[in-house]
Amino acid sequence: MSFGRLERTQGPQPMSEINMTPLVDVMLVLVVIFILTAPLLVSAVKVDLPKVQSTEAADAPKSIAVSIDQAGQVYVGDKSSSLSELSIALKQAAERNADTEVQLRADTTVPYGRVVEVMGLAQKAGLNRIGFVTDPQATPPVSAN
């Protein structure tokens, strides 16, 4: 009888590398979530817009956003400005493109005179297209008679 060496195969070696695929997947999902939610945070000025029933507005080619909060403070975009700064910004927008639309967002408690004052500055700057931004009102249910 001859006795030989018993051959043993080695078992599987432990994996020493980290699998990056799940981490990359999670990061891509987070990026998509941020991309989708960023446009929803466009307006930082808190105003209580009037609610009206209307159809969806068509996309305007160029526009400048002007907001008036409940205290009567005027904002160009999200930046607080005085009436003289607003006038300068409107004139610059008119020089770039005369068809620029002024998108006016005014709180429901703002006096009418303040809104007309801002509209007058826009027309004096040469911007005749003024749009009033509102919140859509829920459509009332149609009653069947």
CATH number of the domain that 118 lies in?
A: 3.30.420
Global pTM reads 0.55
In a domain, 107, yes or no: yes
In a domain, 72, yes or no: yes
Q: Which domain holds residue 130?
A: 68-136
In a domain, 48, yes or no: no
| Tens-place pLDDT, residues 37-64 | 877 766 566 777 777 776 665 554 588 9
**Distance between alpha carbon 83 and the CA centroid of its chain, in Å?**
24
Burial class (CB in 10 A: 0-12, 13-18, 19+), 100: buried
| Tens-place pLDDT, residues 27-37 | 999 999 988 88
How many helices (H) and strands (E) in the chain?
3, 7
In a domain, 30, yes or no: no
